[in-house]
Chain A
């Protein structure tokens, strides 16, 4: 809608992009990709794509939001390209990992007594949380962490995720179920565990 264009909208200034946005965008890519080189490549692609699409930036959303939108697509493209590499081996790996979570009879193997906050007080605490999440996600089998990223970090709907990863809905429910159980376990040990040390028995 052209009439919406504001005459005083600040044009995006590419000479400031790295300075202003690279930390947030790189961190966001690292969280989902768990690999420095790949995150760096996706970020570089994002900036170049943004340069070409600069006329589409209207200042209606923030520059950060606009760039983030492009980066999300670059991450999805990478997930798509890799779908053939991660074959069935991943599902065996997942099954094996679940043996640490449930006993043969189907009960929880470990107690998780800690109370998690649903909201943190400071930026620093969120930074700790994101770091723990990044480390725990990186430990998951490949497809599991992709499924979780797309669902919880990118907030995509199930059918879109199935299409991106080339899997059935049943596969997706299994991947997400396992990812959540493993992440909860990992976070409980590595993040909340350290934070609430004073309250341990």
Chain B
């Protein structure tokens, strides 16, 4: 990216680009230009600040939900029928003899 392109990106970032940079930020390190452009955009854009917050919350909600999977009762509403469960256990038992 040339210096001019970089300056232009910092000054003219739109929400669709800013949201992409926000997404990339949650998977790794941003380039200096992207960081700068994003920071500038977030200063003036409420909807993108909201998006940033909601992405963080989505991640921590999933993290919390997954943690509780390890030990507790199932939090999921999708369940197998008793019939399917019985068949599944029967298959396990037949392989276990």
Chain A residues in the interface with B (C-beta under 8 A): 14-15, 17-19, 22-24, 26-28, 30-31, 36, 39-40, 43-44, 47-48, 51, 62, 64-65, 68, 98, 101-102, 105-108, 111-113, 116-120, 123, 126-127, 129-131, 133-134, 151-153, 155, 158, 173-174, 176-177, 180-181, 183-184, 187-188
Contact = CB atoms under 8 A, between A and B. Distances in A.
Nearest to B76: A27
Interface residues on B, range: 35 or more
A23 B20 contact: no
Nearest to B64: A119
A51 B96 contact: yes
- Interface of chain A, helix or strand or loop or mixed? helix
A152 B26 CA distance: 10
Report the 7 A-B pairs with minimum CB-CB distance, sorted nearest first: A27-B76, A106-B14, A23-B74, A177-B23, A24-B74, A18-B89, A106-B16
A26 B96 contact: no
Given A30-B76, A152-B59, A173 B88 contact: no
Interface in B26-82: 27-28, 47-48, 50-51, 53-62, 64-66, 68-80
Contacts of A133: 62
A174 B21 CA distance: 10
A68 B70 CA distance: 8
Nearest to B50: A112
Contacts of B66: 153, 155
Given A22-B80, A116-B53, A15 B68 contact: no
B64 to A, nearest CB: 6
Given A15-B89, A108-B47, A180 B23 contact: yes
A34 to B, nearest CB: 10
Given A64-B71, A106-B15, A118-B61, A184 B28 contact: no
Nearest to B23: A177
B68 A123 contact: yes
30 contacts: A14-B93, A18-B86, A23-B74, A26-B76, A27-B78, A30-B76, A44-B88, A47-B91, A51-B95, A64-B71, A101-B16, A107-B15, A108-B48, A112-B47, A112-B51, A113-B50, A116-B57, A117-B57, A126-B61, A127-B75, A129-B65, A130-B65, A130-B77, A131-B77, A134-B78, A151-B27, A158-B27, A173-B27, A180-B19, A181-B19
